[in-house]
Structure 1
Amino acid sequence: MKKANKFLLPVLCMGTLWTACSKDSNKPGNGGEGGGTGKTKYIIASAPIASTGVADYLLTADNLTSGTISTLGNGKEQDGSYRYYITHRNRFFSLLYGQGNPGAVTTYNLNAAGQLTKVSDFQSETVQVHTIIGDDIVTMKVPRSGNQNALIFRIDANKSQIVGEAQVNIVNLAGNGERAHFTWATQAGNKLFAPYMSIKGAAPDVFGTSFPDSTWVAVFSYPQLQLERVIRDNRTSFLGAYFNSGLVQIEDGDLYGFSGASATTAGAPASTKPSAIVRIKKDAVEFDKNYFFNLETASGGHRFATQTYFGNGKFLLEMYAEKGKTTGKKKFAVADVLTQTFAWVTGAPADIVSTSSLCNLVVGDGKTIYVGITDAEGSYVYAFDAVTAKATRGLKVDGGKITGIAKLTY
C-alpha cells in the first residue's frame, strides 16, 4: 500500500526522537551492531560556525569529560541545512528536515573498529509528533493550515509495519474557530495524551491565537487511537511548544506538564497566566486541581523554555534569561516536581549562544545529563548534576556549535 510505505520508514526513525536522544539506553551488543566489544563512542553533531545553510558534521569521541575534537578535517560532512538526530537500537539516525517537502534519513552504526559507518540512506517525509509505546511507535502529521485533518499512525517497530492509523479533525477538536496543533504525545496506561496549542492557522498570524490562557490535552484510547475526550485547565497556557515535549510521565505514573505561557497574538506575547507545571495523576483523565508549581514565582519572574528529565522527579530546565520574556537567551535550572523546589544551576556559561536541547544525553543514573553549549569562548559539553545543580565543563569542540550528543557501543 503506497500510503503506508510512504510513511513507514520516516515514522519508524523519527518516532524515537525524544526517548532516544534523551536516554542513554544503549547496552553492549544492543541491536547486534559492531563487534560486541562493549566499548563506547560518543557521537557529537556540530554545525560549522563559519558557514551558514549547511548541515552538521558528525564527530566521534571516547569521552565527554575532557579533551578537544575539531570539525577541521574531521568527521562526516552531511548534506542539507537542517538535521535532527535519534539513537535507537544502537544505531544513529540523521534526519534531514524537509520543511514540508521530502527529506532524507541517513543511518549510521559503529563498526568493529569503533568507526562511524553509514548503513543506509533513504528519502522520507517529516512528522511533527512522535513517541514510543512499547513495541509501537506513534506519530502525528499535523497541518498548520489548509488540510483540517491530523493523521495518526501506529507502527509495530518489530515488524516495521503500520498496524493502525486514524485521523482527527483539528478544527472540530479546537471547537473555537481555530485549530488544534499537537505539540507532543505521551502514553499513560491504555491512553495516549496529546497536548495541543490553539492556533489561527492563517496568514499573517499562523501560530497566533485568540485563546492564550488555556491548557488542552486530547486523550485517545490506545491502541485504537480513538479520541475520547479533551481535558482543560485555565491556570496556565498550552503545554510544550512546536517540536518541544511538554508532558512527561515519571516513575510513579503521574504526568507533569510544562508551560512557558508563551502564546502570542500578532507576534506579541498574549498569555496573562504564569509559566507553570501542572499534573495529571496516575490513571486520571483530568488535571489535578491540588497541584500547581508556579515556575515564574519560583524563578523570580522567568519562564520555561525546554525540559530534560533526570529521573526521580527532577528535571533540567532551560529558562528564558530575561524576566517575563518568552524568546531570547536562556539559562539552566533544576526543578523537583515532587517537592516543588527550584534551583538555578551554577557553572554554566552566563551568555549562552545555543544548546543541544533537542538532543541532550541522559546518562540514566538519575542525576546526570550531558548538554552541548556554545558561548563566546567556544563549544563545550557540560555535565549537569541534579543533586548539586552544578554544571561542569568537559569536552571542547573546535569549529562548530554542538547540536546533538549520542552514545553507541561496538
Structure 2
Amino acid sequence: MNFRTTFAALSIAATLASCSKSKDNPATPSDPGNFIVTVTPAASTGVADYLLTSSSLDQGTISIAGNGIEQDGTYRYYVTTNGKFFSMLYGQGNPGAVTAYNIQNGKLNKLTNFQTETVQTFAPVNDDLLLYKMSRNLATPTANWYKVNTNNLLITAEGTTNTLNLAGNGELAHFSWLKQVGNKVYAPYFTIKDRLFATAYPDSAWVAIINYADMKVEKVIKDSRTSFIGRYFTPGLEVTENNDIYTFSSSVASNGSGISSTKPSAITRIKAGTTEFDQSYLFNFETASGGMNITNWLYLGNNTFLLGATTKSEKGAYNDGKHLSIVNVLNKTFTPVTGLPETNQIKSVTVNNYTPKDGKTGYIGVNLADGTSYVYKVDASTHTASRGLKVEGGAITAVQHLQ
C-alpha cells in the first residue's frame, strides 16, 4: 500500500467535505494568543466544540459568540505535539477524522484534515502520532496501529497487534493509553471479554513494552498489587525527569454488572533502567486521601502531580473527579487543593489540561452548575487554585498551549 497516496486522497476528500459544510472556518478571535481553549456550546446537546485562542489563562474573557473555529462532528479529543494542535474525532464505530493546526499571529491555522479509523488511544512518539484502534470482539482480536508523521502530516506506516495473544488469559488486551519511554512505547492495558468491558481479571495491572521501530511487543510486565493502570481513554503512566515511571490505578475494573476490583486506588513505580514494577514502592492513595480514588492526573514536573479524584460514593468507571489534590510521588505526600468552588457548585472539571512543567503550575477548566466556566490556575507550592480566564457560551473541554 502507498501510505502517502492514500493519506493524500483521504486528506483531499475530507477537506472538501469539510468546506462543503461551511464549518471549520475561523472567525477573527477576540483575543489572539497561543493558548487554546476548547468549548462545547451550552445551547444544545450533540454539538461540536469550538476552538478559541487566548493570550492569557490568568485573566480576561473569551466567548464563542462570533469567535473561534467550529469543529466538524462531536466527541473531539485533542493533543499538542511538535508545534501542532491535533483535533481528533471519535466516530463511535464510524471513521474518525484528524484535523491539524498551527498558530500564526495568535490565530489557529488549519494545516490538514483527513480521515482515519476511529482510534481509542493515541500519543506522540518522536515526531509521530501513534494511533491505535482497539478490538472489543474476541472473534477479531486485531488492534490496528497507524504512525502519522507530524512534520509532513502523512501516514508513514501501519500494522496490527493481536491482543488476544498479548493478554494470554482468554480475554483481549485493551490499551488504556500509550507513552513514549526512550525508544519504546509503554502501553498499559486492561483485559476484557466483551463490549461491556467485563473482565474475570479485575485485580491485575499490565504494561506492554513495544519496540517502536518495528512495533513488536518485547515484554509484558505485571503487578497484582493494584487493578489496571489508568482508565478507558485516560493516561495513567508518566515519566519523571530522572526517567522513573509512575502509574496510577483507579480500581474500577468491572465484572459486567458493577465494579469488581478489590485492590485500592494507588500509585506504583517502575524505576529508571528497569522493566519491572518496583515492589518496594506503593503509594496507597485511598488510605492517604481518606477513601478517594484517582480518576486522572497532570504531571507538573519535579515529581509533582495535580490529581482529580472521586469519593467512594462518586466512584465510577467513567466519572471524572471534582476533588483536586497535589501529590508528590517521591515523598508520598497528599494535599488537597483549596480555592475552588464547593463540589456541589461544580458541574465538571476538564481532564485534558496544560502545565508549563515548572514543578508547580497547572491550568484546568472548571464548569459550574450555574452555567459559567473558568480556567483555574493551580499553584502546587501553596496547594491553592485561583480563578483566571472566563469562558462564555459553553463548557470548557480542554486547555492547551501551542508555541
Bin the TM-score by the shorter chain.
0.7 to 0.9
Name which of 258, 282, 285 aligns with 1:268.
258
More displaced, 324-333 or 61-70? 324-333
8 Å CA contact 2:4, 2:156 repeated in 1: no
Q: Which runs of 5+ in 2 are unaligned?
A: 12-31
The equivalent of 2:19 in structure 1 is none
- For 1:78-114, what per-residue CA distance to the aligned partner results, in whole angstroms no more than 9, with x for missing partners? 33121122333433332222112123333334444x3
Aligned counterpart in structure 1 of residue 136 of structure 2, from 136, 144, 147:
144
Aligned to 2:270: 280
1:130 — aligned with what? 122
Identity %: 48
CA distance in 2, matches of 1:67, 1:353: 22
After superposition, where does 1:365-384 map in structure 2 within 5 Å? 365-377=358-370, 378-384=372-378
The corresponding residue for 1:20 is none
Deviation of residue 73 (structure 1)?
3.3
- Relative to structure 1, the CA distance from residue 334 to residue 76 in structure 2 (aligned partners, 3 Å threshold; closer, same or farther) is same
Matched, 1:48 2:41: yes
Of the candidates 32, 38, 61, which is equivalent to residue 68 of structure 1? 61
Picking from 211, 225, 238, the partner of 1:221 is: 211
- Under a length normalisation based on structure 2, what TM-score does the superposition of the two structures give? 0.86
- SS of the aligned residue for 2:34 comes to strand
Q: After the TM superposition, which parts of structure 1 deviate over 6 Å for at least 4 consecutive aligned residues? A: 7-11
1:408 & 1:313 partners in 2: Cα distance?
Answer: 24
The equivalent of 1:392 in structure 2 is 386
- Counterparts of residues 283-322 of structure 1 (less than 5 Å): 283-322=273-312
Cα gap change, 1:313/1:124 in structure 2, threshold over 3 Å: closer, same or farther? Answer: same
**Letter aligned with residue 342 of structure 1:** F
Per-residue CA deviations over 1:228-267 (Å, capped at 9, x if unaligned) read: 2221111110001111111111111111111000101123
CA contact 1:6–1:125 (8 Å) conserved in 2: no
**Which residue is equivalent to 2:334?**
342
Taking the aligned partners of 2:87 and 2:104, their CA distance within structure 1 comes to 17
Q: State the distance in 2 between where 1:115 and 1:136 align.
A: 24
Deviation at 1:349, TM superposition (A): 2.3
Q: Give the deviation of 1:56 after TM superposition.
A: 1.2
Compute the displacement of 1:156 (Å). 4.8
Contact 1:240-1:246 at 8 Å conserved across structures: yes
- 1:37-116 counterparts in 2 under 5 A? 40-112=33-105, 114-116=106-108
Displacement of 1:132: 2.6
Q: 1:280 Cα deviation (Å)?
A: 0.8
| Helix, strand or coil at the partner of 1:383 | strand
Q: Which has the higher contact order (CA 8 A, sep 6+)?
A: 1
Provide the rounded CA distance (Å) in 2 between the counterparts of 1:408 and 1:322.
37
Cα deviation, residue 155, structure 1: 4.9
Q: Could you tell me how far 1:164 is from its partner in structure 2?
A: 5.1
Aligned residues between the structures: 377
SS in 1 for 2:288: helix
Matched residue type, 2:324: F
Shift of 1:367: 1.3
Q: How many Å separate the matches in 2 of 1:333 and 1:109?
A: 33
Measure how far apart 1:317 and its partner are: 0.7
For normalisation by structure 1, the TM-score amounts to 0.84
- Describe the shift of the 1:304–1:123 C-alpha distance in structure 2 as closer, same or farther (beyond 3 A): same
Where structure 1 has 5 or more consecutive residues not aligned to the other structure, the ranges are 12-38
* TM-aligned CA deviation for residue 347 of structure 1: 1.0
Of residues 149, 164, 184, the one that matches 1:191 is 184
CA distance in 1, matches of 2:200, 2:89: 33
| Pairing partner for 2:399 from 391, 398, 405 | 405
In the aligned structure 2, how far is the partner of 1:8 from the partner of 1:286? 42
1:291-317 deviation per Cα after TM superposition (whole angstroms, max 9, x unaligned): 000000010000010011000001111
CA contact under 8 A between 2:82 and 2:150: conserved in structure 1?
no
Is contact 1:141-1:150 (8 Å) kept?
yes
1:240 to 224, 230, 235: 230
Q: Tell me whether 97-106 or 394-403 shows the greater mean CA deviation.
A: 97-106
For 1:164 and 1:75, the matched residues in 2 are separated by 33
Q: CA deviation at 1:3?
A: 6.0
Partner Cα separation in structure 1 for residue 63 and residue 341 of structure 2? 21
